[in-house]
A and B are shown apart, each in its own frame.
Chain A
Amino acid sequence: MLSFILIPLALIGGVTLAVQSCINGRLGSAVGTLATAWLTFVLGALISVLLVLFVQVPQETSLLEAPRWQLTGAFFGVFYIVAMVFSVPLIGIAAATVAVVAGQLTMGLLIDNFAWLGNQAYPLDGQRWGAIFLLLAAIALIYIGNRKRELANQKIDKS
């Protein structure tokens, strides 16, 4: 029942991600990925501080009392940014996108299946295997589409 609200919410999350990468893509091509990522994180931190101070209901546990390993999320995010900066010129955006999405989905399903990191278990049942096959096909289509676009852009650059 709850998923009728939560899945659309996650969809909106995807939309913000696409709009953000659109704007950041423009900024990135002007000033570089590192400065762009820095600004994104600093603005994010500023807004989060305001949210914590004025919106969030007071909590029993503070960030400083949480187990340290739970605080390491940002390292993965920053590693992702650095990896993309170095990889996209080597393998192209089409292949990079596919590899990221594949990694994301693989790990997401593994965490769900084994209930890692203190998450609830969602076992890999027949339905989830079916979803994996559909997603593989979707990733293949995205790759082909992106690749065609890349080739077309290269042609424009040359002429």
Chain B
Amino acid sequence: MNATERSRPRPLSAKGRRVWSLVRKETHQIVRDPSSIAVGVVLPVILILLFGYGLSLDVMNVPVAVVLEDPSPDAVELAAGFQLSPYFEARLLTSMSRARELMLARQVDGIVRIRPDFARHLSLGDAEVQILVHGTDANKARIIQIYAQGAVGQWTARRAAEGKDVAGGPVIVRDRLWFNEANDSHYFLVPGLVVLVMTLIGALLTAMVMAREWERGTLESLFVTPVRIDEVLLGKTIPYFALGMVGLSLCLLAARFLFQIPVRGSVWVLAGGSMLYLLVALGIGLLISTATKSQFVASQVTVLVSFLPAFMLSGFLFDLRSMPAVVRAITTILPARYYVAILQTVFLAGDVWGVIVPNAAVLAIMAAVVLLLSRVITRKKLD
């Protein structure tokens, strides 16, 4: 019939036009819904600022009480070492009971106790400095311990240099931290931030908007047109892919210019890896929304299977090497893990192909699998 011929002039360009039209439609919707702007743009910016300026694992200015029970010059000199250290905010006390009170009220996180007979023991060769830390935050406590030992060590070294009789260790550790010489935790937090932003836009937003179409019944009328499922999916994927790239650029610009984090590898490798991850995230979002068809369930499932794992199990915050074997085995199916590996390497180490190639390959396979799967399970059917 006449109408049929007119409706399909050239199959390929018709397909392209349909996809383009769906992309435009989706873009209008993104721009007009305050909540998708909130999650797609505002939240990434908040996260960038928080990660850049707020969060840090570096422990500085730890409040400690230095209990000086020995008035000898040696002891006073040692106490002064704590007061001068940039890591501590030392309060000099003379009574241990007062220090305990402060610790109980959590006004100090640690107590350095120099006993009354310190100087005498020092001359005998076995002086002791007692360091008590508040152990509830174990990580912080351990860092405090290391700093405190360091402060004592410096004092010893100084004395040795002055020729006073103090034996340093026969073996001296000279450590170097590659890639992050300044030991700045932003160096590894910001790559993690990129993972969070990409997951947020890729999986959470996509899962919600696709589920919304099922819930509001907008797909029912759309389905009864020449549109194909792959076109509907592409129409969803492309705008959120673009939004993800905007998020990525924001993060990169912030990393480079606000936080002065080096990008030692090439930006193109970074972009390529991010695109692969974004595709996986989008695929997961589409899969979840098609499987649940409800915004509430989709959001819950997305948070559980994509967002929290990206946060907790990807190795950006908690090192994979700390995890028990079972959990580590679970992380091998999480895309975020591979993305974090690529990001940390490209940001801080450079284009190390030995890391990039295998991780990118896994991401590419995952992207192919989830996108194909979402293509297969999304059907133009209501029953």
* Bound pair (A, B): no
Residues of B within 8 A of A (CB): none
